[in-house]
């Protein structure tokens, strides 16, 4: 028999690190579901089943989960979070890769983060 008490989730106040603004209360963010779901380049090349898979099916893993969050009450940026769905620990927050020219360059970001700390 395992004597470890199970977690009872009553908290809604995670501390989430916005890659731009730093750690903020969960209430400032909105959740965007699993990260890394790429829109198919040619939707019409997909069968109905494949399209449904893209639309509706998610991994829903027990453990490490990469997901999208939006700093809705802050800088309005979407970013990625790696969160453990059992412990709720957040391993890291990250800016989304493949950002185009409209996105700030990494060097600049680091400088501003340095200043914040």
Partner 1 sequence: MSDNGLPLSGVAISVRSGRGFLNLRLNPHHGQAVETAERVLGQPIPQAANTFTNGGHEVYWLGPDEWLIANVAERAAALGSELAEALGGFHAAVNDVSGGNVELLVRGAEARAVLAKGCALDLHPREFAPGQCAQTGLGRAAVLLAAVDPSSYAIVVRRSFSDYVHRWLENAARPHRARFSAP
Partner 2 sequence: MAAAQPNRLPQGGRIDRSRPLAFSFDGRACEGFAGDTLASALMAGGVSLVGRSFKLRRPRGIVGSGAEEPNAIMQIGEGAAAQPNLQATQVELREGLKARSTRGWPGVRFDIGAVNNLFGRLLGAGFYYKTFMWPRSWWKHYEHAIRKSAGFGQAPDGPDPDRYEHMNAHCDVLVAGGGPAGLMAALTAAKSGARVILADEQNEFGGSLLASDASIDGVPAAEWIASVVAELRGLEDCVLLPSSTVFGYHDHNFLTIAERCPVRPGGQAGAGVRERLWRVRARQVVLAQGSLERPLAFCNNDRPGVMLASAVSTYVERYAVLPGRRAVVFTNNDSAYRTAISLSGAGAEVAAIVDSRPGGAGELGVRAQALGIPVLAGHVVSEVAGRSRVTGAGIARWSGDSWSNVRSTIRMDCDLVAVSGGWSPVVHLHSQAGGRLAWDESRLCFLPAEARQAHVSAGAGNGKWSLGECLAEGLHAGAAAVSKLGLKPAGVMTPHTAAGAGENPIEPLWRVPAARDADRCSRQFIDFQNDTTVADIRLAAREGYRNVEHVKRYTALGFGTDQGKLGNINGMAVLADILGKPIPEVGTTTFRPAYTPVSFGVCAGESVGDLYDPVRTTAIHEWHEAAGAPMETVGQWRRPWYFPRDGEDLHAAVARECLAVRKSLGVMDASTLGKIDACGPDVVEFLERIYTHNVGRMKVGRCAYGVIPGEDGMLMDDGVMARTGEQRFYLTTTTGGAAAVLDWMEKWLQTEWPELEVYLTSLTDHYSTIAAAGPNSRSLLERLGCDIPLDKESFPFMTTKPAVLAGIPVTLFRVSFSGELAFEINIDSNNALAMWRKIMEAGAEFDVTPYGTEAMHVLRAEKGFIIAGQDTDGSVTPVDLGMNWLLSREKDFLGKRSLQRPDCLREDRKQWVGLLSQDGRTVLLEGTQLIGDTGKPAAMCGHVTSSYFSACLGHPIALALVAGGRQRKGETIHAALSGRDPLPVRIVSPVFYDPRGMRQHV
Footprint on this chain of partner 1 (rule: CB under 8 A): 13, 20-22, 24-25, 27-28, 73-77, 101-105, 108-109, 111-113, 115-116
Q: Which of 18, 29, 80, 81 binds Zn ion (CB under 5 A)?
A: 18
Stretch that binds partner 2, among 46-54, 59-67, 107-115 (CB under 8 A): 46-54
- Taking a C-beta distance cutoff of 8 angstroms, is the pair 82, 92 a contact? yes
Question: Does residue 66 belong to the site contacting partner 2 (CB under 8 A)?
Answer: no
What DSSP element (H or E) covers 51? helix 48-56
Please pick, from the candidates 62, 76, 115, 117, the single residue that binds partner 2 as defined by CB under 8 A: 76
Q: Is 103 in the site for partner 2 (CB under 8 A)?
A: yes
DSSP 54-108: HHH-----SSEEEEEEE-TTTT--EEEEEEETTT--EEEEEPPTT--TTSPPHHH
């Amino acid at each position: 028999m395992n004597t470890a008490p199970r977690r009872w989730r009553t908290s809604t106040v995670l501390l989430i690190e916005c890659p731009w603004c730093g750690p903020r209360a969960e209430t400032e963010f909105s959740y965007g579901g699993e990260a890394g779901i790429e829109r198919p380049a040619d939707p019409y090349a997909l069968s109905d089943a494949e399209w449904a898979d893209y639309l509706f099916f998610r991994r829903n893993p027990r453990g490490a989960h990469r997901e999208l969050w939006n700093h809705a009450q802050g800088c309005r940026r979407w970013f990625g979070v790696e969160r453990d769905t059992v412990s709720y620990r957040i391993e890291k927050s990250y800016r989304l890769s493949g950002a185009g020219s409209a996105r700030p360059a990494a060097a600049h970001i680091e400088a501003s983060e340095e200043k914040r700390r």
